[in-house]
Amino acid sequence: MTDENTSTDDVRADGSGIVAPDDETPTWRERKERTQGLSQLTYEYFERSRREDQDLRQESDYVERDVLAFPTWPHEIIRNLAIASFFVGMLLFLSATLPPHIGDPANPSSTPAIILPDWYLYWSFGLLKLGPLNPELSILGGQKLMSDRMYGVLANVVVVGFIAIVPFLNKGSARRPVEQPFWAAIGVGGVIFALTISVYSAKNLLPMNVNLAFDLTFLLPIVGGFITWAVLKTMREGYMYDLNRRYYRLRPPK
């Protein structure tokens, strides 16, 4: 590949031609005119690394790929080393300067008043308390099919299973919630349910009626999901209008 050859079907290694021309995209001249402070530094860094990348691609006999990216060495590695050094240094600094905290040893013969798992497992702990949902079947003479404990464990299986099959149910290519309001609503409902079931897991500490808390645990996710769906449905018209305007500016109708 030579520089003289500038026909249109020639593969350009510098990344130009991949990004669609847009009225909002600054030209290289405009970028060069940002000659102050941080923007100038950013421009120089970007331009130099782009140039290095281009030279490397042109010198090598490696197959050309039209992927815009920086090489791992040195750009990514140096940045990651800087971040890793910062956090290691912070760990060393804090452990060296803060007073040591060594609490009393745990007493295995006394049970603490409040028993809770770590905070990120509250949702699972809350699912173990779904006893009121366990139906008493008249066919069994008003008995329950399984114990409340078993029911709670199975609820965990159901929730984890649902989360596992969501990627198979929705294989869409949407990048933004506004493109698929229904699935966005499912997601928001799931997040709210994770919060409410976590709060419900500490129902004995809640300063409210336990039955009300139980109802809210399941009602709030539905209400939140419905509001999300409605808002996104309303937003979608404006979003599609914007998208279409962009599209027709790039490719005007004949």
Partner 1 sequence: MADEFIKGLGIFTAAGLGWMILAGWYRTPSFESQEQLVSPVSLGDSATMFDTLGVMLMDAFFWFTIIGALTFWVVIPVIRQAREKLQERAQ
Exposure string over 180-192, b if 16+ CB within 10 A, otherwise e: bbebbbbbbbbeb
Q: Between 37 and 105, whose beta carbon lies closer to partner 1? A: 37
Rounded-to-integer distance, Cα 110 and Cα 108, Å: 6
Long-range contacts of 215-221 (CB under 8 A, 24+ apart): 217/126, 217/193, 218/193, 220/192, 220/193, 220/196, 221/189, 221/190, 221/192, 221/193, 221/196
Handedness of CA 30, 34, 38, 42 (dihedral sign): positive
Cβ at position 90, least distance to partner 1 in Å:
9
Q: Applying CB under 8 A, which part among 15-23, 99-107, 185-193, 238-246 lies near partner 1?
A: 99-107
Q: Mapping DSSP to helix (H, G, I), strand (E, B) and coil, where does residue 85 land?
A: helix
Intra-chain end-to-end CA distance of the chain, in Å: 36
Q: Is 37 in the site for partner 1 (CB under 8 A)?
A: yes
Residue of 38, 67, 164, 205 interacting with partner 1 (CB under 8 A): 38
**Residues 56-95 within binding reach of partner 1 (CB under 8 A):** 94
| Count of residues near partner 1 by CB under 8 A | 8
- 98 is an interface residue for partner 1 by CB under 8 A: yes
Residue 35 makes contact with partner 1 by CB under 8 A:
no
**Does residue 20 bind partner 1 (CB under 8 A)?**
no
Question: Shortest Cβ distance from residue 89 to partner 1 (Å)?
Answer: 12
SS3 49: helix
CA distance 152 to 197: 12
Task: Confirm if 250 and 20 have CB atoms less than 8 A apart.
Answer: yes
**Nearest distance from residue 106's CB to partner 1, in Å?**
13
Please identify, using beta-carbon distances, which residue of 42 and 60 lies nearer to partner 1: 42
Closest separation in Å from C-beta 128 to partner 1: 28
Rank residues 19 and 98 by Cβ distance to partner 1 and give the closer one: 98
Contact residues: partner 1, CB under 8 A: 37-38, 94, 97-99, 101, 103
